[in-house]
Chain A
Amino acid sequence: MTVPVSQSLAPQTWVLQPDDLPPAPGAGDRRRLHGVTAADLVVTVGSGVAALAVAWLLCYALLPWGTPLAFAVVSFVFYLVIVTVTTSAVSPGPAVADRVAAAVITGGAGLVALGLGSAVVFVFVRAWPALWHWNMYTQDMAGVGPRDALSSGGLLHAVVGTVIQVGIAVVVTVPLALGAAVYMTEVGGRFARVVRTVVEAMTALPSIVAGLFVYTTLLLALGMSKSGFAAAMALSVMMLPIIARAADVVLRVVPSGLREASLALGASRWRTVWHVVLPTARPGLATALILGVARGVGETSPVLLTSGASTFLVGTPFGQQMNSLPLFVFSTVRSGEPIFIQRGFAAAAVLLTLVLGLFALARYIARPRGNAKKNRKDRSRR
């Protein structure tokens, strides 16, 4: 049998089989690629203990720096130094850099977590005694003096004021912001680009300037009195660009394939928007709206200029001064009376609970639904 020439000339791969192959590594002695080795653990924990000890010695025994803050900072710095030295004794250079970088980055993130945690916990701890009085939630501050005990007076007027003001602001802003966002993404054109540019520019407006604008125009030029409505307008002016821009971003990421499919099936543009684009973007839109509202609830400076501050429950947004939670916090805390400050902290705790609730609601609405497993897989691959 003769081999065809073309086949014998074809490139071939030759595998050299050396006679003395090392034995194939067994399943038992595989290299560990991840996980923490005992040496790592000893170095990390040992350095931590040593750093705490040296820092204690320095802060509390040798130098007059004995505060918790100084102790934390000094021990972190010593931890970095000691970990560098100990790691360089057992590992090469890149491993030392890796260990120090990991310590710095984890320490920074931990400090931020400490900051956020301390802010939330601090407010609730200071508010704790006041939060147990039921009259805090059922009474207003009418006729309550600065030295009256916590068992009289409450926050009802501030809560109602916040709800009314933010409610009006939402009713005014949301349709406008959504309509503008739909116009910017679904209709488009040169004019839409102008609208988008101006809306993006106005998100830079400091909130106090929004308040000053409403104060100058509505209150001084048009002669309106300080009222919940004026405060709601100031909040609207501040929230409108923020919500419009967020909704615009959400609508822009709706896949254009969906739109094209709907249009190809003969749907009109209006039906495409109503039945395809908006339902697809619903979780994102809800998140954008709720986060915008959360921002508005906590904003103090526009309200400070426009609403005035009543001490009693006001049910109408027109004609009368009206209090709100952030404003109540601000004014009581500045009063300097210990009991008033405690009331301020109670109001802050209520405000914080409100914002946390809104935030949890936004997360709940935006959670991945139905094909949750697939989404998670996609995300982890990325």
Chain B
Amino acid sequence: MGTQTLGDRPAAPVTPRPLSRKVTGADRVFVLGTRSVGASVLVITGGIGVFLALQAFPTIARYGPSFFTENQWQPDLGVVGISGVLLGTFTVALVAMTFAFPLALTTALFISEYAPGRIKAVLISMVDLMAAVPSIIYGLWGFFLMQPLASRLARWLHQYLGWLPFFHVDADPDAAQWDQTMYTASAFVAGLAVAMMVLPMASSVMREVFSQAPLGEREGALALGATRWGVIQSVVLPFGRGGIIGGTMLGLGRALGETIAVLLIISPAFDLKVRPLELGTNTVSALIAGRFGEASPGQLQALLTAGFVLFVITLVINTLAAVVVARSRSGAGTDL
């Protein structure tokens, strides 16, 4: 049996097999189908954004720049402005972040650095579970369980640190019968409930980044004699800075839009004040939930505009957070 050499054959004309990149048959249906689904999702979600933006024009045209500077919401008198509620929104969110940031950071560090390997997975699911608990549950927790404790804490802060302007409350802290109602239904109590809501989100972003800290650098620090805290200080925290900032900002974005826990706890007030410990505050979302029912079409447009402003603020914060997380060192330049 001999092998035939190519030379024995008549030379076949060398033409490349025709290859087409054109999609045919089922693929064509697939591409077109998914593209139309993608387009409809784009239309639905984008449509909402455009709709909200369009509502803003007549409102701004009617009320002018005073829409952003006025703090009263009295549509009957033609006085409508969101400075009061915006200030309240940020006060609640800042109180929430004051509690949530250190707790999220320590929780993330505990899970990624201190927890024994066996219970680590359980703790991670616990944090995820905390994110899945409905906000109304945290509202109940804040209103019924924390409010009595928090009002005492607020009075304590007022007693000892009342000379700081943001700890001032319009009541006498040393009175024999102290006026507990003045310390309830405040931005402080609402912020506590909101902190529970945003904490898991911030914490899981931070933990994710911490766990990506390069093993070689950790081992290097340990080999140089660093303690566990030394490793955290010199490797984990510098590496995870982007995650810390990004996670905090994502939490802030969520805190700004939170409605139901805040609505349950606060008593509405439109004053332009930064006294988180004192009775009464308001946020954009609580304003919408409280006023939508009795609103005329024009007022509804004003409410939608307030919602749109909140949406834009949240969007900007979320986008910045995503950029910060993406630009952190994670995964780049750490090959050993």
Tell me the A residues contacting B by CB distance below 8 Å.
Answer: 65, 67-70, 94-95, 97-98, 101-102, 104-109, 111-113, 115-116, 118-120, 122-123, 126, 175-177, 179-180, 182-184, 186-187, 191-192, 194-195, 198-210, 212-213, 215-217, 220, 237, 240-241, 244, 268-271, 273, 291, 294-295, 297-301, 304-305, 326, 329-330, 333-334, 344-345, 348, 351-352, 355-356, 358-359, 363, 380, 382
Look across to chain B and name the residue whose beta carbon is closest to the beta carbon of A206: B257
A253 → chain B closest CB, angstroms: 13
Which chain B residues in 30-83 approach chain A with CB under 8 Å? 30-31, 33-35, 37-42, 44-46, 48-49, 51-52, 55
Which chain B residues in 201-240 approach chain A with CB under 8 Å? 203, 211, 215, 226-230, 232
Top 7 A-B residue pairs of the complex, sorted by shortest distance between their CB atoms: A298-B134, A108-B106, A206-B257, A179-B37, A109-B110, A183-B38, A98-B227
Tell me the B residues contacting A by CB distance below 8 Å.
Answer: 23, 25-27, 29-31, 33-35, 37-42, 44-46, 48-49, 51-52, 55, 102-103, 105-107, 109-111, 113-114, 117, 125-126, 128-130, 132-141, 143-145, 149, 152-153, 156, 196, 199, 203, 211, 215, 226-230, 232, 253, 256-260, 263-264, 284-285, 288-289, 292, 297, 300, 303-304, 307-308, 310-311, 314-315, 317-319, 322
Pairwise interchain contact A329-B289, C-beta atoms closer than 8 A:
no
- Complex CA gap A199/B38 in Å reads 10
What residues of chain A lie closer than 8 Å to B113, measured between beta carbons?
105
Q: Which of A175, A176, A329, A363 contacts B136 (CB 8 A)?
A: A329
Q: Which of A176, A212, A348 contacts B40 (CB 8 A)?
A: A176
- Complex CA gap A380/B276 in Å reads 45
Pairwise interchain contact A97-B227, C-beta atoms closer than 8 A:
yes
- Complex CA gap A216/B143 in Å reads 31
CB within 8 Å for A351 and B136 given contacts A112-B103, A326-B260: yes
What residues of chain B lie closer than 8 Å to A195, measured between beta carbons?
38-39, 41-42
Look across to chain A and name the residue whose beta carbon is closest to the beta carbon of B195: A115
What residues of chain A lie closer than 8 Å to B292, measured between beta carbons?
212, 215, 305
What residues of chain B lie closer than 8 Å to A183, measured between beta carbons?
34-35, 37-38
- A-B pair count, CB < 8 Å, reads 274
What residues of chain B lie closer than 8 Å to A109, measured between beta carbons?
106-107, 110-111, 114
What residues of chain A lie closer than 8 Å to B260, measured between beta carbons?
300-301, 304, 326, 330
What residues of chain B lie closer than 8 Å to A98, measured between beta carbons?
227-230
Q: Which of B40, B44, B144, B322 contacts A126 (CB 8 A)?
A: B144
Pairwise interchain contact A192-B133, C-beta atoms closer than 8 A:
no
Look across to chain A and name the residue whose beta carbon is closest to the beta carbon of B261: A300
Look across to chain A and name the residue whose beta carbon is closest to the beta carbon of B138: A119
A179 → chain B closest CB, angstroms: 3
